[in-house]
Amino acid sequence: MKTAKIRVTGRVQGVWFRGSAAEQAARLGVTGWAKNCPDGSVEVIACGPADGVDALVEWLRRGPRLARVDGIEVEPVVLDEVPLTFTVL
């Protein structure tokens, strides 16, 4: 089991980034959440098998068709409770 906190910058709000990330996470068996941040970035928490989390991170590097990803930061995190689903916040 792997858990990562990912911050994605660029044109990532208003382009269905979080909804697309949720679809990808569901396909990969990853739980967690995606939320817009006040600075215009998107924060993602991803929990699941290492290969699923890694695949989601690779997808986040591109994002959906209308997005423009300028940067991505990934750091491991420890959560007190692992989410059961992937939620758009």
Chain length of the chain: 89
- The domain spans of the chain are 2-88
Instruction: Check if the beta carbon of residue 65 is closer than 8 Å to that of residue 20.
Output: no
3-state DSSP assignment of residue 36: strand
In this predicted structure, what is the pLDDT of residue 56? 98
Fold of 2-88: Alpha-Beta Plaits (3.30.70)
pLDDT in tens, 55-66: 999 999 999 999
In this predicted structure, what is the pLDDT of residue 60? 98
In this predicted structure, what is the pLDDT of residue 16? 95
At 58, the amino acid letter reads E
Of residues 77, 35, 89, the one with CA closest to residue 53: 77
Provide mean pLDDT across the span 21-35. 97
At 16, the amino acid letter reads W
Give the residue numbers marked as catalytic.
Answer: 18, 36
3-state DSSP assignment of residue 30: coil
